[in-house]
Structure 1
Amino acid sequence: MRTTTHGGPRFALGRALKQPLLNAVARLPDSVQRAMFMPPIRRIFIRVPVLRAVYSGCLRRHPIDLHYGTDTSGLVDSNALQRDARLAEQLRPYMGSQPTIIRRALDTLGDISGYTFMDIGCGKGRPMIVASEYPFALALGYDISADLVRTANANAVVMARRFPQRPPIRALHANVADLRVPSGNVVVFLFNPFGPELMASLLEKLEAGLTSGTIQHLFIVYDNPVCSEVFDGSRQLQRWFAGVFPYDHDEVGFGPEDHENVVVWQSVRGARPAAFAERNSRITTKDRLSTSFEG
């Protein structure tokens, strides 16, 4: 995962080596990858700066991919997502969120029959695959990387063949400025895809949809809500839920943590009665990749 660092030859060399290394590790047999995560080996290798990204857990083939035959695993650096350096600085690396976190977050919403699920920064489409388990009308994703969108749509074909009765999955290549907001009831999903500037642009799009009546009711599900203040500052949104979800036992070791923080907002328009007492917990942003809750 990418963090803010200073430049220089040593940093440039590390950046040049990191992505090829990640790609090489991702192609290793699963048995070799499991060996690399054995505690004695992990304790040694994680001390080597260029190897630390290997231990994000995202490089291992995730159980959901083993189960469905899809490809949602891996870690893609933000500079590989976008050639424009200024825009890349706003992006976060691609990594798949944990299915358990997505399910538990969606379960807080109640009846979402007929809603459109909209994943912003969808990457390879893992949240859309999980969303297809629910009675959405459509699982729709947007991503700035054409390569990741192609993979997401290939995964959609796999899922459609295996589960033709499930809601359709479709990924589109677009940046925030090009997003088309669906009509009706919408659930937006975010897994810390980008920084506050782009998040504010997204909010502007969603608020315009609410003001015009295009969107009747809106939920925003934000996994790892680093830019939560953007949505907390909107007069058209109110908190629905805030909490910490643990990874499922089988997911531990396939992500950087063993839990994730999630906040959900709903629109004032069409608002449902508040259901969660601790929805207004204060969020502290530790860095551009992580958050914590206070009381």
Structure 2
Amino acid sequence: MLMAATEFMKRAFTKGPSNSLQSVLSVVDDYAFDRRHRLDTRSEVAIRDLDISDEDKQHADKYKPTRARYFRKIMAKLNLPLEGVCVDVGCGKGRVLLLAAEHGFDQVVGLEISQALCEIAKRNVATFQEGTPTASSIKVVCTNILDYEMKGSETVFFLYSPFDHAVTKSFLAMIRQSLNDHPRDLWLIIDEFRFPELLEDDELLKKTHVYEYGSAIFHVYQHQS
């Protein structure tokens, strides 16, 4: 935990005083969010500690939650429609699911390959809903993303760099196929996008924003039907 915090602060302070302050405030917000709602979303989980197969570990990244402050900022920036389904890909312990419900999305779905993290996410969702009445439907699905069947109702996909190049490429192909099968407006939001070349000059998903806040760099892509 200490090493993770040290690495986070090191990254934050390399971006200048404004970003450094944003990063420090985000840490305080995360602590307050968990404490206020009696949640467990803050602690990271290393790849070696995930209860997934060795093969899946080769394609995965550790669980590290999106900062609550960062998510709220990018939502305010984009002003997305709240109808449809917001999907957090690699939802981990469920923080983004709760923030998306708090933001007002009609339906929120979290996809996670780790059964242990899914159980934590479900507990967090139940605890959150007990103390925070919301009209949003929140669902946690334990699945490998490559086994997920697109419904055609997904309108927002959110990712915090959960996969390697190969799985990311396959996932993007799934989105393209879904858009061809079920034309609709769709937004793809990726923090720490390590493979932007996969969407360079893409015919369906056009880059609309690159937004920096604190230590986050959000790449936003949109498809207009």
TM-score above 0.5: yes
Match for residue 263 of structure 1 among 211, 216, 219:
219
What residue identity is the alignment partner of 2:37?
Y
CA distance in 1, matches of 2:35, 2:8: 15
Shift of 1:146: 0.4
Equivalent residues of 1:116, 1:182 under 8 A apart: no
Task: Give the counterpart letter for 1:167 in structure 2.
Answer: S
Within 5 Å, give how 1:189-208 maps onto structure 2.
189-208=158-177
Q: CA deviation at 1:121?
A: 0.4
Q: How does 1:7-22 map to 2 (within 5 A)?
A: none
Structure with bigger RCO (C-alpha 8 Å, 6+ apart): 2
Q: Does 1:79 align with 2:48?
A: yes
Q: What is the alpha-carbon distance in structure 2 between the residues aligned to residue 233 and residue 150 of structure 1?
A: 39
Partner of 1:243: 211
- How far apart are residue 231 of structure 1 and its match? 2.6
When Rg is computed on C-alpha atoms for both structures, the one with the higher figure is 1
Q: Which residue of 2 aligns with 1:283?
A: none
2:3 is aligned, of 30, 45, 52, to 52
Is the aligned partner of 1:218 residue 2:169? no
- 1:13 corresponds to which residue? none
Corresponding residue of 2:199: 231
Structure 1 residues 80-95: aligned runs within 5 Å: 80-95=49-64
- Partners of 1:207 and 1:144 in 2: how far apart? 22
User: Are the counterparts in 2 of residues 184 and 217 from structure 1 also a CA contact under 8 Å?
Assistant: no
Aligned mates of 1:62, 1:233 — CA distance in 2: 40
Distance 2:72 2:84 in 1: 16
Cα distance change on mapping 1:151 and 1:233 into 2, 3 Å: farther
Shift of 1:56: 4.3
Verify the 8 A CA contact 2:84 2:155 in the aligned structure 1: yes
- 1:261 Cα deviation after fit: 0.7
Q: CA RMSD in A?
A: 2.3
Is contact 1:240-1:264 (8 Å) kept?
Answer: yes
Equivalent-residue separation in structure 1 for 2:79 and 2:4 (angstroms):
37
Q: 2-side partners of 1:106 and 1:83: how far apart?
A: 31
Distance, in Å, in 1 between the alignment partners of 2:50 and 2:192 is 20
Q: Gaps (5+ residues) in structure 1?
A: 1-21, 23-50, 247-258, 271-295
**Cα deviation 1:62-105 (Å, max 9, x = unaligned):** 32111111111111111222543332122111011101111111
**Identical columns (%):** 21
- Residue ranges of structure 2 left out of the alignment (5+ in a row): 10-26
Given residue 182 of structure 1, which amino acid in structure 2 is its aligned partner? K
Q: TM-score, normalised by structure 2?
A: 0.83
Amino acid at match of 1:193: P
Amino acid at match of 1:263: H
Query: Which 10-residue stretch deviates more, 75-84 or 192-201?
Result: 75-84
For the 8 Å contact 2:211–2:218, the answer to whether it is kept is yes
Q: What TM-score does the superposition give when structure 1 sets the normalisation length?
A: 0.65
Q: Residue type of the partner of 1:264?
A: V
Corresponding residue pairs, total: 207
* Deviation of 1:233 (Å): 5.0
